[in-house]
Structure 1
Amino acid sequence: MKLGCIGDDFTGSSDLANTLARGGMRVVQYCGIPAGPAGDDVEAGVVALKSRTIAPEEAVRQSLAALDWLRAQGCTQFLFKYCSTFDSTDRGNIGPVAEALSDALGGGPVVFCPAFPATGRTVYQGHLFVGDRLLSESGMKNHPLTPMRDADLRRVLARQTSRHVGHVAMADVAAGADAIAEAISRENDEGRPFVIVDAISERDLVEIGRAIPDMKLVTGGSGIAMGLPANFGCRAGGADRASGFARPGARAIALAGSVSRATRGQVRAHVAAGQPAFEVRASDVMEGRLDPETLSDWLLAQPGVPLAYSSVEPERVAENQERYGKEAVAGAIENLFAETASVAVARGAGIVICAGGETSGAVVSALGIEALEIGPEIDPGVPALKVGGRELRLALKSGNFGAPDFFLKAARIMGGGDE
């Protein structure tokens, strides 16, 4: 194994695996830290954790354990992957995890670049944009667990770490790999080893990758991985990932736990397309009126691509959190979706489509999945996935990703639904 990656959630990890596979690397996504060694043919291993919103101390512990396993596989460079919207709080977990990984690898400069231009995430003058809006003016300002109300990544990261934070501006990035490398070195020499790097295009991300072939630790969204495979001698245009992937006629179900604008729009589009949809109300879950068996029965009794969703407007989310408690509501809905997926798969569902990082992580854990093969891309940042050793297909979508028809498109690519 050449490149070792640690993802702080399952959807972002599959997004990263997709990027590396497009770059020509042989990739396996591991769901948690594997018990045994990787196969000899794996060039990039992505260890997916569910560590984005847990206590920083536990996120650090899990991430260091993942690092130990990846180092034992022979990796020479490591990538800590987080969301392209830099999802975190003032406690972390981006800063604490990056600091711990850097210390374990002997220090040195570390790049931070969450840019993903294909989905509208760009970094300019150290500020993160979503489309033409600052992060703080996007839907992320109302995220129920990690509300992002500051677009200046230098300030956000500085609140999470004892390291001084530097910046490589667009002028250096536009000048190419050599200028980027020189600017990173300059920031490190001046006592700012954690370096936010601007990027507004895929070319910028490739040049950043070219500038850091020997950097031990790299951090960012999946876009930062675009320039890394070439440093290991890999080239895009390998095997057809769609060949033999689909399961024609497989029963598909969809579960949406994200409250992002994109997912709410996808739910509306799914209903408008005449597909069956079931709103999971927080009050029904918290007060015991809805259980996994009932929801699974409903999903498997429907035609097409049935969807169960808890994706509601921010105002309703806030009301539910005030009434039942933020962590209690989130945990109860995650558990419901996870157990529903487990019951539905046991009863014959062959395709599970998940929207939302926390929901996806809970579902993968409940299904006891150890490793995932990377299949064809559904939408930018979202590949279809095949469960190793099982006839089960998954799509794990970040709440913010995907076209309006995502659920139907995912089912079609993986061979399910009868819409």
Structure 2
Amino acid sequence: MIGIIADDVTGGTDVAVACRRQGLRTGIVFGEPRDHSIDPTWDVGVVALKTRTIPAADAVAQSLTAARALQAQGADQLYLKYCSTFDSTADGNIGPVLEALASLVDARRVVTTPSSPEHGRTVSGGQLLVNGVPLAESPMRDHPLTPMRDSDLVRLLDRQLTAPSSRVLPLELVHAGADALRSAIADSAHDARYLFPDAVTDDDLLAIARAAVHEPLLAGAAGLAGALARAVVESRPSTEHPTPPADDTGRTIVLAGSCSRRTLEQIDAMRNAGRPMHRLDALADQDPTALAARALAWYDALDRDAPAPLIYASLPPEELQEVQEQLGVERSAAILEDAISQVAQGVRERGVSCFITAGGETSGAVIAALAVRGGEIGAEAARGVPWIHGHDGARFLLKSGNFGDPELLVRASEGSGS
């Protein structure tokens, strides 16, 4: 088993489907694993935590717990999945968690890259580019929770380590072939523990994965994880694992909290499709319980035959800024997450069994509120956005803020009652 520890929920689903796409049977567990939540027959087991922005010590403790649980169920290789924009808090948490996992498995070197070409993330000369633009000049520069003001991966990671220990492996070395790259990786262990190979195409990622396929610990975005899954499949007999069948029964709801440009476009598409919509307004009421009660009363008044509705807290940049200026970034986020959590619980009690969520924090809040332990990865509704078949019969589509085409929320929720 490849054991993957992801630092947020939608990152967990993204990496899980990257492995499932290569034909590996893949399951996901939300939060710290409990007894029997990891199926030892999985080829890939993903533990999706919510550690990206919590205190570093807590992120390390939770990640180590997940890693040991995966090892106990047969994982002989670990992978730390972080965001393809390398975002974290100023003091972590990628570096501290990497150091802890490397010590756990006694890894003398760790190959890592946030490159994910299909999502527009590439690495050249050790610089992380977003759609060809340096990270620090991209929209991530002013991310409300994790602003990114540097594009140099070595600098970014070394600031999070107890001592600088990172270096770049240039693109010409990646292009030299798996054997040359494997030798360079082994030699690099003498002067650096964490290695950032350049990668601008999926072929580059596959070359890296082939060279590092037997390393005890790797780290990166979903791009390298998918390439690793392919390299593993190449090295062993093929086994077909059918995708769990879709279940279109039950009521559906869409819950959105992301303020990314793509999610805002998807909300506009829901509006243009005439979908019932209700906004959670933190300026109007700072009591999350009252906000949730108002939303649930609105939901109860809908015709049962109405198309799947949307309850959202997403705002365009200027309105988001106004809310954050009046309430503060952390307080406004906490109010809305709490309200969405209560809404999720309320509609589940009312018979909703299909949840479509937009935003990593939103998805994490919903999964936690419903105490979802995990499930098996099914078909993709969009690239990197799979359906998850929960152990209790519920279905989930957990969408990272920037993922999917503008019509994704409309398309994914079509044909289901409210």
Tell me whether the two structures share a fold, i.e. TM-score over 0.5. Answer: yes
1:265 maps to 2:265: yes
Gapped regions of structure 1 (runs ≥ 5): none
1:30 maps to 2:29: yes
* 2:373 alignment partner, one of 362, 370, 373: 370
Q: In the alignment, which residue of structure 2 is the partner of 1:238? A: 240
CA contact (8 A) 2:122 2:199 kept: yes
2-11 vs 140-149, which deviates more?
A: 140-149
CA contact (8 A) 2:113 2:220 kept: yes
Partner Cα distance (1:39, 1:287) in 2: 40
CA contact (8 A) 2:30 2:367 kept: yes
Q: In the alignment, which residue of structure 2 is the partner of 1:398? A: 400
Q: Closer, same or farther in 2 for the Cα pair 1:236/1:325, shift >3 Å? A: farther
In the TM superposition, 1:10-409 aligns within 5 A as: 10-37=9-36, 38-161=38-161, 162-189=163-190, 191-229=191-229, 230-231=231-232, 233=235, 238-241=240-243, 244-248=245-249, 250-286=250-286, 290-299=290-299, 301=302, 303-388=306-391, 390-409=392-411
Aligned residue pairs total 411
CA contact (8 A) 1:143 1:260 kept: no
What percentage of aligned pairs have identical amino acids? Answer: 40
Equivalent position amino acid for 1:276 in 2:
P
Partner Cα distance (1:403, 1:6) in 2: 27
CA contact (8 A) 1:163 1:194 kept: no
400-409 vs 307-316, which deviates more?
A: 307-316
Partner Cα distance (1:154, 1:417) in 2: 50
Partner Cα distance (1:265, 1:84) in 2: 21
Q: What secondary structure does 1:146 align onto?
A: coil
CA contact (8 A) 1:284 1:290 kept: no
Q: What secondary structure does 2:195 align onto?
A: strand
Partner Cα distance (2:138, 2:214) in 1: 35
Q: Deviations over 1:81-101 (max 9, x none)?
A: 011111112211111111111
Partner Cα distance (1:344, 1:26) in 2: 31
Q: What secondary structure does 1:404 align onto?
A: coil
Deviation (angstroms), 1:274: 2.2
Q: What secondary structure does 2:189 align onto?
A: helix
Equivalent position amino acid for 1:357 in 2:
G
CA contact (8 A) 1:12 1:81 kept: yes
Gapped regions of structure 2 (runs ≥ 5): none
**Normalised TM-score (structure 2):** 0.93
Superposed CA RMSD = 2.0
CA contact (8 A) 2:256 2:359 kept: yes
